[in-house]
Structures are given as C-alpha cells and as structure tokens.
C-alpha cells in the first residue's frame, strides 16, 4: 500500500533543501497549505453529506428529493450555500453580544479540530500525536461550550432550554464515547491514531474481529453515543422543532446559522470516521490470509478503504435518523446513565481480562 509520507517528505525537502528556505518559512508555508486543504475538504464533504442526507431521507419517505437545480438536483446544495452567504446577519436585542458572536466559532473549532485527526491514508494524517485519542475527546468537548453559549447569549427562553438539553446530552454521552475509545486503546496498546490502525493491519486484524464480543459491543455503543453527541435524530432533543423552534441557534442568521449547520454534518462524518479508524481498520484493507485475495485487497488505495467504511457508517446513521422517532429527554438520559455507561464499564473490564489472558484473536 502506498505510503503518503513519501510525498510529504518530498515536499518538505523541496522547500527546505531545493529552494533553500529557512525552517520558519518552510513550516509556515506547509501550515498554510494544510489549513487550506483542511477547509476545502471540510466544505466539500459537508456538501456531499447534505446532498446525501436529502436523497436518503427522500428514499425512506418514498420521495425523489431535490431535483430542480441541476441534473438530479446536485446543484441544490450550492444554491442553498449561496443563499446563506448573502443573507443579512443581524444581532438580537438585549443579547450578550460577546457570547452570541463567539459561540458559532467554538463549534467550528471543535469540528475542524477533531476532523484534523482523521487518518485518510497510510502516512496521510494532519495531526498524529502519541496521545491522539485523548486529544480527540478533549477538542470535541469544546463544542459543548459553543452550543450552550449560543443558547445563553441569544437571550431567548427557547434557546436557553435547548442549550441546556443539548449540553446535558453531549456531556452525558461523552462518558460512553470515552469508555469505547479506552477499550480500543487497551486492545491495541497505543493512543496514537496511526498506531491503532497499524495494529489492525494483517489477516483478520480489524478490531471488531480481533477484539470479538467486547469490541463489537464497544463499536455499537460508540455509534449510538456518537449519534447522540452529534445531536442527530433520534437524539436531536436540542433541536426539537415542535417544542423549541429551531433550538439553540434560533436567533442566528446567515453564516452564523450556517456554521452550526456545517458542524452538525461534519460531526456526523467525524464520528463515522473515528469509528471506521478505531474499530474497522481505517485505511487498512481486509486481509484474510489468502495470498491472492490479500494482494487484490492491498491494491485498493487506503483512502478508498477509509472513505468506503466511513460513508457506509454515515449511511447507517442516516438510516437510523429517518427510521426511529425522537426520544423524550428523560428516556435519552436514562439510556445513557442506566444502560450504556454500566454496559461499557462491564465491557471495559471484560476487554482488560481478554487482553490480560490472551483471549483476543
């Protein structure tokens, strides 16, 4: 499988050795280019996910979805983006101007930060620290502040109730998310994202296979808790339109609202990407120990494996959203504190025992 670090090392050598740039300018140029690539990928993936959700929703509701703007409606999302960009941005009277203004940016920072940890291919990752899993959970928690400050700073009673709901929900389900990731760390012996995927390369080495029952349970709980963490149905209590208007971003217009809209879809991609990287091997191909089959699987580029697994999980989460009704807030919290968290504490102990006694594949 192609190692993308060859390209990055070549580009670094081109700037520092061939062109003779000082280390400061080399690092600056690389950081600017990486930032542009991240924002471009961020925008393109959001556009794809918005169009995908509209078509998936239409399929489940026996409709055709947007069809007027462009063939098969593929330019409808671009039209909506243009409309959002030119809409007037207003501020709410008697609101907390500072909190109201910075809240959308906190959500975007959390979304882009976690997005930057996704491993696209072998040697193709933006951030790859030795405590990567810890940093992912830490940066993602910033989004809770953006949601809560939006409701509080808007000076709207519906937004405040929505923000309190969303904050309680996101903080609660972060516990199960963290326990799922700890199970993966125990099985692989590392907190580094690239190390977790390297531990899953080889015949039958995907974590849900080598970790068998504990890893499968952790994988399912991770998807459930991740869906709740992203405030998506049936866990979208923070945006319950029939009760709270539009939720915590009711008083936002233009790109203020657009940031929340983009962050929701990118969080869906991030949750699916983390699940595919941690439990399904990420860019690692499916090898079964048969030489011909394994060679054929290894010919498929790593980023194809990653995107294939990620979009499969995205489709599953969209399927869940448009199939199940919205939960009540008490049932939502009961699911976490009475069922998922005790289950994951048991799975954590079970995983530790399996690793200690060599009961993994």
pLDDT digits (tens, 9 = 90+) for 244-292: 777 788 888 888 888 888 888 899 999 999 999 999 999 999 888 888 8
Burial of 33 (0-12, 13-18, 19+ CB in 10 A): exposed
The residue among 193, 223, 180 whose CA lies nearest residue 350 is 180
The tens digit of pLDDT for each residue in 194-221 reads 999 999 998 888 999 998 899 999 999 9
Give yes or no for residue 25 having a pLDDT over 80: yes
Report the distance separating Cα 359 and Cα 352, nearest Å: 10
Please count the helices (runs of H) and the strands (runs of E) in the chain: 16, 0
pLDDT recorded at residue 43: 87
Q: Which residue's entry shows tokens 């409808």?
A: 76
pLDDT recorded at residue 304: 93
Do residues 164 and 187 make contact, with C-beta atoms less than 8 angstroms apart?
A: no
Give yes or no for residue 241 having a pLDDT over 80: no
- Measured in whole angstroms, the distance separating CA 122 from the mean position of its chain's CA atoms is 19
pLDDT recorded at residue 268: 92
pLDDT recorded at residue 114: 92
Q: Average pLDDT, whole number, for the chain?
A: 89
Burial of 89 (0-12, 13-18, 19+ CB in 10 A): exposed
DSSP lists the bridge partners of residue 124 as 121
Sequence-ordered list of residues with C-beta below 8 angstroms from that of 120, at least 6 positions apart, any chain: 4, 283, 302, 303, 306
């Amino acid at each position: 499988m192609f190692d993308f670090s060859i390209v990055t090392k070549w580009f670094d050598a081109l700037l520092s050795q061939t062109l003779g740039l000082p280390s400061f300018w080399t690092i600056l140029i690389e950081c600017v280019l990486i930032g542009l690539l991240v924002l471009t990928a961020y925008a393109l993936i959001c556009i794809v996910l918005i169009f995908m959700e509209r078509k998936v929703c239409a399929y489940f509701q026996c409709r055709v979805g947007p069809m007027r703007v462009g063939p098969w409606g593929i330019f409808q999302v671009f039209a909506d983006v243009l409309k959002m960009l030119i809409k007037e941005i207003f501020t709410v009277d008697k609101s907390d101007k500072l909190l109201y203004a910075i809240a959308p940016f906190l959500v975007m920072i959390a979304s882009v930060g976690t997005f930057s940890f996704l491993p696209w291919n072998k040697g193709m990752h933006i951030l790859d620290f030795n405590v990567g899993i810890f940093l992912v959970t830490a940066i993602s928690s910033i989004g809770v502040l953006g949601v809560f400050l939006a409701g509080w700073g808007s000076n709207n009673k519906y937004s405040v109730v929505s923000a309190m709901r969303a904050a309680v929900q996101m903080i609660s389900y972060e516990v199960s998310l963290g326990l799922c990731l700890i199970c993966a760390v125990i099985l692989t012996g590392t907190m580094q994202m690239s190390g977790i995927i390297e531990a899953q390369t080889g015949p039958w080495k995907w974590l849900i296979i080598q970790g068998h029952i504990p890893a499968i349970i952790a994988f399912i709980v991770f998807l459930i808790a991740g869906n709740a963490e992203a405030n998506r149905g049936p866990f979208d209590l923070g945006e319950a339109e029939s009760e709270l208007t539009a939720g915590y971003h009711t008083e936002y217009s233009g790109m203020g609202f657009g940031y929340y809209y983009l962050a929701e879809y990118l969080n869906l991609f991030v949750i699916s990407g983390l699940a595919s990287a941690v439990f399904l091997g990420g860019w690692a191909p499916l090898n079964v120990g048969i030489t011909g089959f394994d060679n054929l699987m290894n010919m498929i580029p790593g980023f194809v494996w990653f995107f294939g697994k990620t979009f499969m999980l995205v489709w599953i989460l969209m399927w869940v959203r448009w199939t199940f009704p919205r939960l009540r807030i008490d049932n939502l919290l009961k699911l976490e504190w009475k069922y998922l968290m005790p289950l994951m504490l048991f799975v954590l102990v079970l995983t530790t025992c399996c690793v200690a006694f060599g009961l993994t594949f």
